[in-house]
């Protein structure tokens, strides 16, 4: 394992043609230590903090089984139209002052169109002019023209999770396909945007599904990989699933680091499963996280995150 770790640091990359069973059998402590070493050598001590705002909530036409915002489920969440651009600008400024590096508007729905898309462009332009934070966006399936408009408004990264493996995707959602996701990722990359793409663990998938997802993201050249742990929400088809254990979360993070050595491995939903905010997560290969409130679930306190990460030796400066 030590030899493989050094080979990855020196440029070796694992692919789907390699026998990867060792990732599931090696002792967790050894795997996490190796992943952390890869992170230190190839990514350094910089940590990437991002926060998101729920720009439009509920009434989503898609039937993703994990999501509280789907119109197919009865979760009782608050629904509202696209926020006023000035409200978003104020929130962005507040989070920038708190030290986050990225800020993203996330909207429910298959796509963002019409006046809602125009409002998003207005908000991004204002943030680009008045803030120095990196701007990201997550608005479902868009056309090439809209990706270009986002880029011109100041967006540098687009978010489009693949959620799980290609084989398992139909167990998660049937109103759009895995191929739809890949098409959007490549379209965003075509116009020059970086892509943030990952998925959710704890939805009944196998370890092979998790490894396949990690490899697929590597093949796509994804630079930021959010790993979400399912937070079962009452009223969704996955509302009664049991939470996965800490050990499975840490093994997943370490595996993603071995298969994506230079990417931001970004811990997203589920970090509050760890009583201390997830210290072990950042000793297992992760070097980025979402901080603050997250959509329909409560996130982590930004100031507490900064204290924890600084104690771990990370550089939180912009």
Q: For the segment 10-68, what is each residue's pLDDT rounded down to a tens digit?
A: 999 999 999 999 999 999 999 999 999 999 999 999 999 999 999 999 889 999 999 98
- Residue in the block written with tokens 């939180």: 316
Give 144: exposed, middle or buried? Use CB within 10 Å, 0-12, 13-18, 19+. Answer: exposed
Contact 205, 162 (CB under 8 A): no
**Nearest residue to 200 via CA among 230, 222, 221:** 230
pLDDT at position 294 over 60: no
How remote is the C-alpha of 259 from its chain's centroid?
16
How remote is the C-alpha of 49 from its chain's centroid?
11
How remote is the C-alpha of 205 from its chain's centroid?
18
What is the C-alpha to C-alpha distance for residues 86 and 194, in angstroms, rounded to an integer? 26
pLDDT of residue 300: 62
**Nearest residue to 228 via CA among 95, 52, 20:** 52
What is the C-alpha to C-alpha distance for residues 89 and 93, in angstroms, rounded to an integer? 6
| Pairing of β 264-267 and β 102-107 | unpaired
pLDDT at position 297 over 50: no
pTM confidence score: 0.94
As a whole number, mean pLDDT of residues 92-117 equals 95
pLDDT of residue 173: 97
pLDDT of residue 293: 57
pLDDT of residue 296: 42
- For 235-271, the pLDDT digits (tens) are 999 999 999 999 999 999 999 999 999 999 999 988 8
The total of other beta-carbon atoms located within 10 Å of residue 284's CB is 28
pLDDT of residue 175: 97
Q: Across the chain, what does the average pLDDT equal?
A: 94
As a whole number, mean pLDDT of residues 140-158 equals 98
Contact 282, 307 (CB under 8 A): no
What is the C-alpha to C-alpha distance for residues 254 and 39, in angstroms, rounded to an integer? 10
Q: At 26, list the tokens.
A: 């090696």
Q: Of 52-61, 69-78, 222-231, which one has max mean pLDDT?
A: 222-231
pLDDT at position 90 over 80: yes
CATH assignment of 17-311? 3.20.20.70
The total of other beta-carbon atoms located within 10 Å of residue 74's CB is 11
| Pairing of β 297-300 and β 292-294 | antiparallel
Give 9: exposed, middle or buried? Use CB within 10 Å, 0-12, 13-18, 19+. Answer: middle
Phi/psi class of residue 288: alpha, beta or left (left: φ > 0; alpha: ψ in -120 to 50)?
A: beta
Identify the band that residue 272 occupies on the pLDDT scale cut at 50, 70 and 90: confident
| Distances from the Cα of 234 to the Cα of 64, 207, 316, angstroms | 14, 25, 36
As a whole number, mean pLDDT of residues 180-192 equals 98
What is the DSSP secondary-structure string of 67-117?
A: -TTBTTS------B-PPPHHHHHHHHHHHHHTT-SEEEEEE-SS---HHHH
pLDDT of residue 298: 44
């Amino acid at each position: 394992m030590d030899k493989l770790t050094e080979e990855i640091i020196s440029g070796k990359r694992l692919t789907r043609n390699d026998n990867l069973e060792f990732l599931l059998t090696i002792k967790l402590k050894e795997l996490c230590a190796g992943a952390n070493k890869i992170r230190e050598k190839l990514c350094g001590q910089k940590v990437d903090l991002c926060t998101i705002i729920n720009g439009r909530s509920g009434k989503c036409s898609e039937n993703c089984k994990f999501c509280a915002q789907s119109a197919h489920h009865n979760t009782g969440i608050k629904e509202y139209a696209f926020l006023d651009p000035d409200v978003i600008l104020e929130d962005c400024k507040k989070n920038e002052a708190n030290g986050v590096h990225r800020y993203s508007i996330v909207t429910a729905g298959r796509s963002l169109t019409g006046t809602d898309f125009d409002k998003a462009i207005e908000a991004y332009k204002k943030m680009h002019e008045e803030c120095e934070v990196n701007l990201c966006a997550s608005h479902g399936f868009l056309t090439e023209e809209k990706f270009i408009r986002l880029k011109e408004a100041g967006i540098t990264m687009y978010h489009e999770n693949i959620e799980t493996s290609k084989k398992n995707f139909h167990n998660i959602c049937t109103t759009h396909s895995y191929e739809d996701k890949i098409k959007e990722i490549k379209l965003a990359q075509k116009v020059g945007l970086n892509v943030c793409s990952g998925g959710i663990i704890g939805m009944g998938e196998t370890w092979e599904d998790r490894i396949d997802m990690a490899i697929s993201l590597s093949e796509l050249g994804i630079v930021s990989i959010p790993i979400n742990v399912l937070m079962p929400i009452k009223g969704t088809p996955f509302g009664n699933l049991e939470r996965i254990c800490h050990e499975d979360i840490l093994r997943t993070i370490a595996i993603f680091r071995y298969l994506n050595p230079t990417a931001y491995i970004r811990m997203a939903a589920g970090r509050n499963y760890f009583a201390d905010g997830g210290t072990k997560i950042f000793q297992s290969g992760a070097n980025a996280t979402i901080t603050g409130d997250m959509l329909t679930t409560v996130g982590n306190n930004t100031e507490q995150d900064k204290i924890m990460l600084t104690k771990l030796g990370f550089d939180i400066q912009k």
